[in-house]
Structure formats: structure tokens, C-alpha cells
Chain A
Amino acid sequence: KAGVTQTPRYLIKTRGQQVTLSCSPISGHRSVSWYQQTPGQGLQFLFEYFSETQRNKGNFPGRFSGRQFSNSRSEMNVSTLELGDSALYLCASSLGTEHQETQYFGPGTRLLVL
């Protein structure tokens, strides 16, 4: 079974721009979670989507948003990019049902903001 895939793998943007990252979960998984990893803050939870609805949200500003499509694929968007948004963005998928919440991570998208 194919794993979680994320596109693009690398991205360079400038301050003020916006960016959209994509995540395709493992087949059959309905929950997709997004995380940000930086050297200073470590791995931090952004939000989780299940059946096209945001089910859980971390402590990030409104510039960070996401959505999920009917095929469970998910996108996250960051508007008005700041230098501090440079990070590895990770997507994880799980079945999303109670007692089946083991999350499997994709390889990540590395975003550099100049």
C-alpha cells in the first residue's frame, strides 16, 4: 500500500507571498493532520481534517488554513508568508476512527521563505 505523499517536496517563496501544500493520505485513511517542524519550536500540530471538516486545531495564526476534499486529499495554505514560516511541513494520515488513530507521516515539504 502506498504511503502518505506530499507535494512539492521543496519550495522557495518570498515574504508576503502565499503558498499551498498538498497531501495525499494512505488509501482508506480519512483523517489528515498537519504539523510544522522548526529547529526552535520542534514539531507542532497545526490542524486535523476528517471527512472534509476541521476536527482539531493547534495554536497557529489564521494565516494558516487548510481543507480536505471528498477523496481525503488535503491542502494547507499559508498566506502573507513571514521569514519565520520557513519550516518542514509534515502531513500525517490515519483511519480516523476511535481506537485506530495511529498516524503515518509523509516525507514533508520543506519551505524556505526569503
Chain B
Amino acid sequence: DAKTTQPTSMDCAEGRAANLPCNHSTISGNEYVYWYRQIHSQGPQYIIHGLKNNETNEMASLIITEDRKSSTLILPHATLRDTAVYYCIVRVATGTASKLTFGTGTRLQVTL
């Protein structure tokens, strides 16, 4: 699976949009971008994933650049409960390769 690079930490004011970047310059054509978050020692929570088109769900939006070498997770109106470590993962979603390779993630701190 391709390696990802994320900033170690970010701050965001409550009510503002949180934009979390991720670089995955070695991504292959058959690899998806997945985002998970982990709130203080709970199990990671699935947020969103995409291949090449932008995606939106009730939690967040995922913007993938045209060359697919980077992406941005957007939390449109961050709340204190969004404080967590956010993991960007790229993985093959075909065949039986189910392993998720987690990096160190971005620690997002939402403040009043």
C-alpha cells in the first residue's frame, strides 16, 4: 500500500471548517483513499473513502486532486467532539488485501 504523509497536529476553532491534508504521491491507480479517526483510545471510526472523485457524506467531504497525489478531508463545521487523531490510509480495495496500514495521523484539536 502507498505511504501517506500528514501533518502531526492542527488546531481549529469550533464552528469553522477543518481541512486536513494528506499526501500520497506514490498512490496506484487501483488504490482508494480512506479516512478514519480515533477519539482518545476508542476504536477508529470510519469517516469516508474515495477513488478519484470527490465524495461527501453526513460526516465530511473528501477532495482528491486530479493527479490523485494528495487529498483533503473537510469537516465543514468542527465541534469539540471532533477532537481526535485523523488517519489517512491508501489501500487496494480489490482482491483480498484487507490490511489497513495506519501511519501516525494528524492530531486535530478543536478549541472554543
What is A's interface to B at a CB cutoff of 8 Å?
A: 4, 31, 33, 35, 42-45, 48, 50, 55-56, 58, 88, 90, 92, 94, 96, 98-99, 101-108, 110
Q: A89 to nearest B CB, angstroms?
A: 10
Known: A98-B94, A98-B95, A102-B46. A45 touches B41 (CB 8 A): no
Is the Cβ of B96 less than 8 Å from the Cβ of A108?
A: no
User: What size tier do the contact residues of chain B reach?
Assistant: 20 to 34
Across-interface contacts of A98 in B (CB, < 8 A): 93-96
Q: Is B111 an interface residue (CB 8 A)?
A: no
Instruction: Classify the interface of chain A: helix, strand, loop or mixed.
Output: strand
What is B's interface to A at a CB cutoff of 8 Å?
A: 34, 36, 41-46, 49, 87, 91, 93-104
Is the Cβ of B100 less than 8 Å from the Cβ of A90?
A: no
Select one of B41, B44, B96, B104 contacting A50, CB under 8 A.
B96
A sample of 25 cross-chain residue pairs with beta-carbon separation below 8 angstroms, ordered by A number, consists of: A33-B98, A33-B100, A42-B103, A43-B87, A43-B102, A45-B100, A45-B101, A50-B98, A56-B97, A56-B99, A88-B41, A90-B43, A90-B44, A94-B98, A98-B93, A98-B94, A99-B93, A99-B94, A101-B93, A102-B46, A103-B100, A104-B46, A107-B42, A107-B43, A108-B41
